[in-house]
Amino acid sequence: MEQTDLQDTILIIDDSPSTLAVLDDILNPYYRIKAAKEGYRGIQIAESDDPPDLILLDILMPEMDGYEVCKSLKKNPRTRDIPVIFVTAKDETEDEAQGLELGAVDYLVKPVAPLIVLARVRNHLELRAARNHLTLQNRELERRVRERTKELTITQDVTIASLAGLAETRDKETGSHIWRTQNYVRTLAISLPDLPGYAQQINDEDIYRMYKSAPLHDIGKVGIPDAILQKPGPLTKEEFEIMKSHTTLGYQALLQAEQSIGTTSFLRYAREIVYTHHEKWDGTGYPQGLSGEDIPLAGRIMAIADVYDALISKRVYKQPFPHSLAVQTILDGSGTHFDPTLVQVFQGLTETFRNIARSGVELSEEREALER
């Protein structure tokens, strides 16, 4: 065996001076050696700021035998990963089995053969080094994954903000609306997993994706002419048909994005919300005329959030509705416009909706309406 650089440290715990001397003679040319004649002292050395890389441990010792020492070492997070090799005169199979069950990596019977001791020590030190290297690699991989995930999340958030901001440049009233509706969506969604039948439909990840995607629900309005989008009076039938196309325009834009970069849960929810938030429970909505649970859950949630906020907001064609009237409008639409179950959930969250609206409005008319 070649001389090493003495980086590895071996701790020998044995109450026999002759055994300590024999093992020291075998190992000293290749490793740093520490020794302890009592189990308690050996544990202290193992727990020190300069712990050993491997421990050779006798079983038959007074006060605290080797089994107890091994148990203590394996219970302590600071020492449980240090390999322990029992070196003992106990040569029964049951003794060896007990030692291995306690967490020892090997079992040598006295009197020991020098070449066997050196080979076993070397092998277990190499195994420990390999495990440590793998642990470091895994930690580095986890760190990189966390960093990459953080980068992707930031990129996604910036993309949403940019696209939502694009819609805002076309319709100044859309700006605060899209951020308020985002919080309405989350408020409704987080109340659903506890309801019968909904636990399998929505989880924390779904809620997060809906919340992140909600600001894009009106992205298609960038394709609507200003004369229609900002018209102060009622739309004609023809103009309303053009206005309704914002759902398909937004859907097609997001579908093209998916085809370019691949399907993601973020884009899937955004596409569902954009395309279906104007569908109605009774099938009279647009653009597809879907009804009931054929309307994706994200679209049904967004429908309530969108209509409530549109009602309590000032528009070029109307004054803000009082909060109480907006709530009643949602309740009256249960089973026709809106999912009845979601309306029941909304009914218990009306004050939360009002508080979200209060924190996101600036116009005095809207603030006054929210108090009514």
Mean pLDDT throughout 267-288?
A: 94
- Contact indicator for 258, 199 with CB cutoff of 8 Å: no
Tell me what the pLDDT averaged over the chain comes to.
88
For 324-372, how does the pLDDT look when each residue is reduced to its tens digit (9 = 90+)? 999 999 999 999 999 999 999 999 999 999 999 888 555 455 555 566 6
Rounded distance between C-alpha atoms, residue 139 and residue 313, angstroms = 50
Rounded distance between C-alpha atoms, residue 89 and residue 105, angstroms = 17
For 203-219, how does the pLDDT look when each residue is reduced to its tens digit (9 = 90+)? 998 998 899 888 888 88
Tokens of 90: 């106990």
- DSSP-derived letter for residue 318 is B
The residue to which tokens 């590895």 are assigned:
8
Domain 9-139 maps to which CATH number in 3.40.50.300, 3.40.366.10, 3.40.50.2300, 3.30.70.1150?
Answer: 3.40.50.2300
* pLDDT value of position 298: 95
* pLDDT value of position 4: 45
Rounded distance between C-alpha atoms, residue 179 and residue 160, angstroms = 11
Highest mean pLDDT among 3-17, 28-42, 260-274: 28-42
**How much of the chain, in percent, has pLDDT values that exceed 90?**
63
For 216-253, how does the pLDDT look when each residue is reduced to its tens digit (9 = 90+)? 888 888 888 989 888 888 899 999 999 999 999 999 98
- Partners of 11 in beta bridges: 34, 55
* pLDDT value of position 369: 58
**Angle formed by the axes of helices 66-75 and 93-101, to 10°?**
20
Tokens of 158: 């910036």
Indicate whether 171 pLDDT > 60.
no
Q: What is the third-level CATH fold of 171-370?
A: Hypothetical protein af1432 (1.10.3210)
168 alpha-carbon distance from chain centroid: 31
* H or E stretch at 54: strand 54-57
User: For 55, phi and psi rounded to 5 degrees?
Assistant: -125, 130
- DSSP-derived letter for residue 82 is S
For 54-97, how does the pLDDT look when each residue is reduced to its tens digit (9 = 90+)? 999 999 998 899 999 999 999 999 999 999 999 999 989 999 99
User: For 12, phi and psi rounded to 5 degrees?
Assistant: -105, 120
Indicate whether 257 pLDDT > 80.
no
> Could you tell me the pLDDT band of residue 3, with boundaries at 50, 70 and 90?
very low
- Contact indicator for 47, 34 with CB cutoff of 8 Å: no
Tokens of 106: 């090997």
* pLDDT value of position 115: 95
> Could you tell me the pLDDT band of residue 177, with boundaries at 50, 70 and 90?
confident
**Least trusted range by pLDDT, from 157-166, 278-287, 310-319:** 157-166
- Each domain of the chain, given as residue ranges in start order, spans 9-139, 171-370
Rounded distance between C-alpha atoms, residue 174 and residue 268, angstroms = 22
Indicate whether 165 pLDDT > 80.
no
* pLDDT value of position 5: 46
* H or E stretch at 108: strand 106-109
* pLDDT value of position 176: 73
The residue to which tokens 């050779």 are assigned:
56
**Least trusted range by pLDDT, from 1-5, 11-15, 238-242, 336-340:** 1-5
Angstrom CA distances, 347 to 31, 84, 197, 253, 305, stand at 74, 64, 19, 34, 12
